Amino acid sequence: MDEQDFVNFLRGNFEFTRGTGIGDDASVVPFGDGFQLITKDILVEGVHFSLDYFSLEELALKSLAVNVSDIAAMGGDPQYFYVGIGFPPYLDEADLRQFYKGLAAGCEKWGIELAGGDYSTAPRLFISITLVGFASKPVFRSGARPGDLIGITGSTGESALGLELLKRGIRDPYFQRRHIVVEPELAKGKLLAQEASSMIDVSDGIAIDLKRLLTASNVGGEIYVEYLPIDSRMREAASAHELDPVELALTGGEDYVLLFTVPVDREKTLRQSFGRLELNYHIIGKATSAAGTLTVFCEGAPLKLNRSGYDHFPQGG
């Protein structure tokens, strides 16, 4: 069972009549003159992070940030959150205070508030955050139509490179910071909400997350390696460590940029609204009618990927 099978299994067994639930970055329920968004992301020590290279404060900020990114991916504003923490015996009260210091910094940074939560001892550290937000016009994964342009708000692969260097014990503050510190694209998400036909944040890599968006929209997609935003610093660092910058950009997770589709006739307006705030995005391909397929072209020829990114689901069983 992979994630898509799991989503299908849940959809087959659970109905959500109050709004849109399973299978997007956040649930969407009508609320006043707009929609309440709720998202939940869990982070597990040894799976999503190691305390070898995360301080408790950095971890708290990242735990919040990945949830804030889900709200950004719906075109919303984050508001308040609930924290569940499973706290292991090898950490102490000072660590716990550092964690909450990080949460307080996140509150300040993203204008959000702590509304509750739960605490338990646990054999290993885990964090479960539920974040509530609001959108007057939410954007779903499912709205892409054949012919729509596929865009991305920033570079990918940099977090994965940083993580790889951390694992190898090679010091590189720039790329390591790209892994440790997540900057959710809230401002861009809100601009995109006005024009985009679909949107998702890149948590598991372009290859996996774009596939999710295309599947949800029942369309296919083509992207072009030449258009991927990979800067010279990234190319040089990857090459210096014998890594392929293109593979990293396509399959590396945790950059938390936004991947979206926009109808061709709305793209000019989108470009203008970004330009007014001196912001940028990159068109990297287009949606097609070949539902469920994603083709990556390099110099005009389809590229084979070695990996398709991360998938948290075990096989078999």
Q: CA-CA distance, 293 to 215, in Å (whole number)?
A: 8
State the nearest-atom distance from the C-beta of 62 to its own copies, in Å.
15
DSSP assignments along 129-155, one per residue: EEEEEEESS---GGG--TTPEEEESS-
Among 75, 76, 86, 189, indicate the residue that binds its own copies (CB under 8 A).
86
State the nearest-atom distance from the C-beta of 73 to its own copies, in Å.
13
Among 35, 38, 58, 256, indicate the residue that binds its own copies (CB under 8 A).
38
225: DSSP letter: G
Which CB sits closer to its own copies, 80 or 227?
Answer: 80
> What residues pair up with 195 in beta bridges, in sequence order?
none
Nearest-5° angle of CA 141, CA 144, CA 146? Answer: 155
State the nearest-atom distance from the C-beta of 124 to its own copies, in Å.
5
Q: CA-CA distance, 129 to 117, in Å (whole number)?
A: 8
Q: CA-CA distance, 279 to 302, in Å (whole number)?
A: 31
User: Which range binds its own copies by CB under 8 A, 43-51, 185-193, 282-290, 301-309?
Assistant: 43-51
- One character per residue 7-36, x = contact with its own copies (rule: CB under 8 A): --xx--xxxxxxx-xx-x-xx-x-xx----
- The encoded tokens of residue 195 equal 């024009």
- C-alpha torsion angle, residues 39, 43, 47, 48 (rounded to 10): 80
Kindly report the backbone phi and psi dihedral angles of residue 286, in degrees, each rounded to the nearest multiple of 5, phi listed first: -150, 155
Is the CB of residue 282 less than 8 Å from the CB of residue 206?
no
Q: CA-CA distance, 308 to 311, in Å (whole number)?
A: 9
Residues 6+ apart with CB under 8 A from 83: 63, 103, 114, 117, 118, 127, 128, 129
Touching its own copies, residues 45-64 (CB under 8 A) = 46-48
State the nearest-atom distance from the C-beta of 208 to its own copies, in Å.
14
Which CB sits closer to its own copies, 40 or 271?
Answer: 40
* Residue 2 touching its own copies (CB under 8 A): no
- One character per residue 259-298, x = contact with its own copies (rule: CB under 8 A): ----------------------------------------
Among 53, 82, 227, 297, indicate the residue that binds its own copies (CB under 8 A).
82
Touching its own copies, residues 121-140 (CB under 8 A) = 121-124, 126, 128, 130, 132
User: Where does this chain bind its own copies (CB under 8 A)?
Assistant: 1, 3, 6, 9-10, 13-19, 21-22, 24, 26-27, 29, 31-32, 38-44, 46-48, 79-80, 82-87, 89, 92-97, 100, 103-104, 107, 113-124, 126, 128, 130, 132, 312-314, 316-317
